[in-house]
A and B are shown apart, each in its own frame.
Chain A
Amino acid sequence: MNLEQLKRKMDEAHYIYDDTLATVLAVALQLGRPLLIEGAAGVGKTEIAKVMASALDRDLVRLQCYEGLDESKALYEWNYQKQLLSIQVNMNAQDKDALTKSLFSDEYLLERPLLQSIRAEKPVVLLIDEIDKADEEFEAFLLELLSEMQVSIPEAGTIRAKTIPFVVLTSNRARPLSEALRRRCAYLYIEYPDMEKELAILRAKLPHVDDRLCAQVALAVQKLRSNEAILKKPSIAETLDWAAALDALGIRELTPDALRQTAGFLLKNNEDLNALTMDEEEEHHCGHCEGHHHV
Chain B
Amino acid sequence: MSEPEVYLEKLSAFSRMLRLEGLSVSPKETADAAQLLITLGLDDREQVKTALRTVFAKSREEQLRFDRVFDGFFISEEKMRQQAKEQMERERELEQHRREAEEELQLNGKPMDLSDEQRETYAAMPEEARQRLRNFMDKYRGTAERNPKLYGDFIHSVFTRAILEQQMLMENAGVGAEELDPELGLMYRDISEFKDTEIPKAIDMIQAVARQINGELSAKRKNRGRSGKLDFRKTIRKGLETGGSFYRLRYRKKRSRRKQLVLLCDVSGSMVQFSEFALRFIQSLNQVSESSRVFLFSETMTEADAFQLQNMDLFRTFVKDSGIYGRGTDLGTALEQLCGKRPPVLNGATTLLILSDTKTIDQPRAVAVMQEAKRQAGRVIWLNPIPESKWHYIRSVQTMASICPMVSCSTLRELAAACRKLAQI
Contacts and interface: CB of A to CB of B under 8 A. Distances in A.
B247 A135 contact: no
17 contacts: A20-B50, A24-B50, A24-B54, A27-B36, A27-B54, A68-B224, A80-B247, A88-B245, A175-B212, A175-B215, A183-B29, A185-B58, A186-B55, A187-B59, A228-B197, A228-B201, A229-B200
B218 interface: yes
B204 A228 contact: yes
Contact of A189 (B26, B63, B242, B247): B63
A187 B54 contact: yes
A19 interface: yes
Contacts of B337: none
Most A Cβ at <10 Å: residue of B32, B51, B201: B51
B70 to A, nearest CB: 14
Nearest to B26: A183
B58 A183 contact: yes
Interface in B324-347: none
B285 to A, nearest CB: 14
A30 interface: yes
Given A176-B59, A231-B204, 11 more contacts: A20-B50, A30-B36, A31-B55, A173-B212, A174-B215, A183-B26, A183-B29, A187-B58, A189-B63, A228-B200, A228-B201
A272 interface: no
Given A84-B247, A183-B24, A187-B54, A176 B63 contact: no
Contacts, number: 89
Interface string A153-175: 00000000000000000000111
B47 A187 contact: no
Given A19-B47, A231-B204, A175 B219 contact: yes
A238 interface: no
Nearest to B224: A68
A231 B207 contact: yes
Given A19-B47, A135-B219, A174 B225 contact: no
Contacts of B60: 38, 189
B97 interface: no
A54 interface: no
Contact of B47 (A23, A185, A188): A23
A179 interface: yes
Nearest to A87: B245
Given A23-B54, A182-B59, A189-B60, A31 B35 contact: yes
A24 B63 CA distance: 13
Nearest to A18: B50
A-B pairs with lowest CB-CB distance, top 3: A175-B215, A182-B58, A174-B215
Given A68-B224, A183-B24, A176 B58 contact: no
Contact of A38 (B24, B26, B59, B211): B59
Nearest to B218: A67
A38 B26 CA distance: 22
A275 to B, nearest CB: 9
Interface string B196-236: 01001100100110011001101110001110000000000
B423 interface: no
Interface string A182-208: 110111110000000000000000000
Contacts of A174: 211-212, 215
A1 B78 CA distance: 35
Interface string B15-58: 00000000010100100100110011000001100110111011
A28 interface: yes
A253 interface: no
Contact of B55 (A2, A27, A80, A132): A27
A59 interface: no
Interface string A209-237: 00000000000000000001101000000
A134 B215 CA distance: 10
Interface string B76-93: 000000000000000000
B50 to A, nearest CB: 4
A188 B57 CA distance: 9
Interface string A81-94: 10010001000000
- Residue of A2, A67, A175 with highest tally of chain B CB at under 10 A: A175
A58 to B, nearest CB: 21
Interface in A126-165: 132-136
A196 to B, nearest CB: 17
A24 B51 CA distance: 6
A176 B54 contact: no
Contacts of B54: 23-24, 27-28, 186-188
A221 to B, nearest CB: 18
A183 to B, nearest CB: 7
A83 to B, nearest CB: 11
B219 A67 contact: yes
A68 B216 contact: no
Contacts of A188: 54
A31 B31 CA distance: 10
Contacts of A84: 242, 245, 247
Nearest to A138: B219
Q: Max chain B CB contacts within 10 Å: which of A67, A81, A84, A186?
A: A186
Contacts of B62: 187
A30 B55 contact: no
A100 B58 CA distance: 46
Nearest to A173: B212
A19 B58 contact: no
